Structure 1
Amino acid sequence: MAASRVYNGIVNTADRFVPTALRPLWNHAAGPKTVFFWAPVFKWGLVFAGLNDLRRPADQLSVSQSASLAATGLIWSRYSLVIIPKNYGLFSVNLFVAITQLAQLYRAWDFSRKNPPKDVQSKEQ
């Protein structure tokens, strides 16, 4: 409860400084006063991690991890548009999670296609 009081104190203090033009965003049901804003903000870390993994060699990618993140990104993208209120921040971050992980899956698939296992190569010769 102490963290909640600190957070509410920060929000109430900041409330005085929010310009009138930004009030609709500030007071929105999925605005910065709620977890519905902050959870997607922190989820961008998954997008940055996925983008960072583009530098990783394709043979070191986890197909199951990328598939799971891509699936959840697609599912939550859809969910964020059917809930009330629509949460476009949640939609955008999950769409980008899905896109980055689909790119990783493509890289892993392309690598496995171009570099078949040794036992498959020896049977073909």
Structure 2
Amino acid sequence: MSKLYNAVINVADKFVPNHLRPLWMHPAGPKTVFFWAPMFKWGLVIAGFSDLVRRPVELLNMRQTATIAMTGLVWSRYSLVIIPKNWNLFSVNLFVAITQGVQFIRAYNYQLTHRDEN
């Protein structure tokens, strides 16, 4: 698999414009897993934004949203202490923490206002 990947990268190298070379050659750039793993994680952020609009508050699990928000914060911190600093990893995890934090607040407020009904 790595031979195929390297062949694709070698072909792509020829088409990268000069002004994008610094990004392309960066230790956490598109030639590495350090770029692609956070890129795919943006799917969690998109799902979180979708849930903010579509998921009824009574179906939210406070433990789950709190856990995902906390892991977003932990990984945000981690992305700033590793070498090379991975700003893409930082931003995706910050957005995961924010979206899940908002979901947690929604669920908490729902629990407070409907405590007497249960």
Aligned to 1:24: 22
Q: What is the number of residues matched between the two proteins? A: 117
Measure how far apart 1:68 and its partner are.
1.2
Deviations 1:23-74 (A, max 9, x none): 1110000000000000000000110111111121101012122111101100
* Comparing 23-32 and 3-12, the one that deviates more: 3-12
Q: Distance in 1 between matches of 2:105 and 2:49?
A: 14
**CA root-mean-square deviation:** 1.1
The structure whose Rg is larger is: 1
**Structure 1 letter corresponding to 2:111:** S
Deviation beyond 6 Å, 4+ runs, structure 1: none
Partner of 2:74: 75
CA distance in 1, matches of 2:8, 2:63: 40
5+ unaligned residues in a row in structure 2: which ranges?
A: none
Unpaired segments of 5 or more residues in structure 1?
A: 120-125
Partner amino acid, structure 2, of 1:115: H
TM-score normalised by structure 1 residue count: 0.89
Q: Normalising by structure 2, what TM-score?
A: 0.94
Distance in 2, Cα, partners of 1:99 & 1:5? 39
